[in-house]
Structure 1
Amino acid sequence: MTKVVTFVGEGGKTTCAVGCAEAFRQAGLRVLLADTTPDQAAASWQRLAGWQVPVLARGGVRADRDHWAAIARDEYDVVVVDTAPTAGYAGRPAPILRASTDLVVVLTPSWVDLDTVGARLATYAPPDRRSVVLLNQVVPGASASVREAVAAAGWAVSTTELPLSEVHARAYGRDPGTLAAAFTGFAAALITTWREPFAVGVW
């Protein structure tokens, strides 16, 4: 069965989706990156850098149709979906979530972003999906309070934290191979969960 890993949230979501897709590829999986964002940033990035991960660049209803078709053909082990930014989404994640097996909520460890994303967490992750919060752009020592708040709300938080770094900030348009190193542990943990029986709340 094809796994569909959908990235939602704020703060470097496209960079996380690209890095994770490349990490899956380096782990030997057949990977498709579905770019459903209005600006098609991941697709543009692929054209500039010439990745080995194919990108499906579509928007709206057509994205859902093509997305489902790729899954139905069982051409890929995993489809990584980059969604539109939270701020302008107005409830639109629902169609894509129907195809998702796993939700990754990208969050920078700030109270502003936690407030923005937190109000939509229930919409993002229905109870029959594995869901995890991935902290991104982390300054050393600055994530503990946000991590505790997310965990207190009943959300799984990945042990992987992606640092605020110049490498990530300048990654766009470059080969994502080196970027993927930061996502190796996260991708490996996700692959491990696919070998285990699904339980609500377990990631």
Structure 2
Amino acid sequence: MIVGVLNQKGGVGKTTIAVNLASCFSRSGRRVLLVDADPQGSALAWSAARQVDPDFVVVGMAKPTLHREMPTLAKNYDMVVIDGAPRVNELGRAAIMASDLVLIPVQPSPYDVWAAAETVQLIREARQFKDSLRAAFLINRKIANTAIGRDFHAALAQFPETPVLDAALIQRVVFAESAARGLSVLEVAPRGEAARELQRLADLIIADKERQAA
């Protein structure tokens, strides 16, 4: 299964989500490939900052031909996670076309709702060529017990074909602390709340994979 983490808006936490999802999948015993499709190379920089290699493979491929090369890349892995590029439509389209499931991280902010429309439109266009493509919003950096967090689902309802996952990630310091050390949250605090939230997200994706295979 190929999971693209994409949003045409920058700064929504795509790399953090992609890296930690790859870690979750790998720790469950799956063969995992993390593809850095962002010209900024943030996932590659995370890998280079580590003292030891991660327990999954990280490659860079910020290329508009990604969707054509992905079948060959993915064939030896159980799960592939693509860290997509912001504001680059050609690369964004390629990453979307390469994916089975697109996660759209959005922060609980009106700006993110407005920007989400562009990503949803790219997915609509891609479905004309790949009707099996699935997509869902992932609320990231949610601030617990606030009205804007509760009301955010209603704002995203203007995109009825794109559901909101029941697996929000709360804003927590451990995400930044682990990234700065070239580690995943599961390596730094495997029994913490953030790790549990990430595992719930990974479990939902695996369940989706199993439903599609059934």
TM-score range, shorter chain: 0.7 to 0.9
Report the counterpart of residue 129 of structure 1 in structure 2: 133
Equivalent residue number for residue 192 of structure 1: 207
- Aligned partner letter, 1:110: S
8 Å CA contact 2:63–2:91 kept in 1: the answer is no
Tell me how far 1:64 sits from its aligned partner. 4.6
Give 3-state SS (helix, strand or coil) of 1:134's partner. strand
> In the alignment, what sits opposite 1:103?
102
Q: Deviations over 1:124-150 (max 9, x none)?
A: 353521211100011112322221121
Q: TM (normalized to structure 1)?
A: 0.85
Aligned residue in 1 for 2:175: 168
- Alpha-carbon distance in structure 2 between the residues aligned to 1:33 and 1:151: 30
What is the Cα-based RMSD across aligned positions, in Å? 2.0
5+ residue gaps, structure 2, are: none
1:114 is displaced (CA, Å) by 1.0
CA contact (8 A) 1:19 1:183 kept: yes
Q: Match of 1:89, as an amino acid? A: V
Output the CA distance in 2 between the equivalents of 1:131 and 1:44. Answer: 27
Q: Indicate conservation of the 8 Å contact 1:22/1:180, yes or no.
A: no
- 1:26-175 aligned within 5 A: 26-49=27-50, 50-61=53-64, 63-64=66-67, 66-71=69-74, 74-85=75-86, 88-124=87-123, 126=127, 127-140=131-144, 141=146, 142-154=148-160, 155-172=162-179, 173-175=181-183
3-state SS in 2 of match to 1:92: helix
Q: Secondary structure at the match of 1:160?
A: coil
Decide which structure has greater strand share.
1
**Can you list the C-alpha shifts for 1:145-203, whole angstroms capped at 9, x where unaligned?**
221121342121111111111111223233213465431011111111112148xxxxx
Partner Cα distance (2:143, 2:172) in 1: 9
Secondary structure of the residue aligned to 2:141 is strand
In the alignment of these two chains, the number of paired residues is 192
**Contact 2:62/2:91 (<8 A) preserved:** no
Q: Structure 1 residues 66 and 44, CA, compared in 2 at 3 Å: closer, same or farther?
A: farther
Give the structure with the larger helix fraction: 2
Identify which of structures 1 and 2 has the higher relative contact order when contacts are C-alpha pairs closer than 8 Å and 6+ apart. Answer: 1
**After superposition, what is the alpha-carbon deviation per residue over 1:82-107, rounded to whole angstroms, capped at 9, x for unaligned?**
0112xx21353222222211110011
Give the 3 Å change call, closer, same or farther, for CA 149–36 of structure 1 in structure 2.
same
CA offsets per residue over residues 58-99 of structure 1, 9 Å max, x none?
22246455533212xx200111000112xx213532222222
Letter in 1 for 2:182: R
Compute the TM-score of the two structures, normalised by the length of structure 2: 0.81
Instruction: Tell me the CA shift for residue 5 of structure 1.
Output: 0.2
Q: Percent identity?
A: 23
- Aligned residue for 1:19? 20
The gaps in structure 1 that reach 5 residues or longer are 199-203
SS at match of 2:165: strand
Q: Determine which of 198, 206, 209 is the counterpart of 1:183.
A: 198
Residue equivalent to 1:8 = 6
